[in-house]
Amino acid sequence: MKRQIFVFGSNLQGRHGAGSALEAQKNHGAIFGQGTGLQGESYAIPTKNKYMRVMDRYDIIPYVNEFRNFAREHPEMEFNVVAIGCGHAGYKPEDMAPMFIDMPENFGINNRKQRLGLIGVQ
């Protein structure tokens, strides 16, 4: 069985105080103070900056690309992605879905709304 990794939206301060970030910290090993990358059984993609303000989608793209490359390099892991940016950041699934095109086979989406958002862009 592949190592299960919970992929969540975070902020660059790594303050995992609410939403999927809090779940990642409580249940998947996310590290308080680390806002990006692999942490225990979780992987953080920031959607808020170091001032806790929502990042522009264009500023989020490099972090999604970094995640895509990481996922490709780690086929022994399975990445279960929540609706990144669709909670406290306030984006809609259809706003974020295009960033997640061309993900490797070990990428999974565990949020119905984001899956629906991806239907039109695959």
- Residue extents of the structural domains in the chain: 3-119
The model's pLDDT over 24-70, given as tens digits with 9 standing for 90+, comes to 999 999 999 999 999 999 999 999 999 999 999 999 999 999 999 99
Write a three-state SS string for the chain.
CCEEEEEEEEECCCCCCCHHHHHHHHHCCCCCCCCCEEECCEEEEEEECCCCCECCHHHHHHHHHHHHHHHHHCCCEEEEECCCCCCCCCCCHHHHHHHHCCCCCCEEECCHHHHHHHHCCC
Compute the residue count for the chain: 122
**Which of the four CATH numbers 3.40.50.300, 3.40.220.10, 3.40.50.450, 3.30.1330.60 does domain 3-119 have?**
3.40.220.10
Residues above pLDDT 70, as percent of the chain: 89
The model's pLDDT over 77-122, given as tens digits with 9 standing for 90+, comes to 999 998 899 888 999 988 998 998 889 989 886 544 454 455 444 4
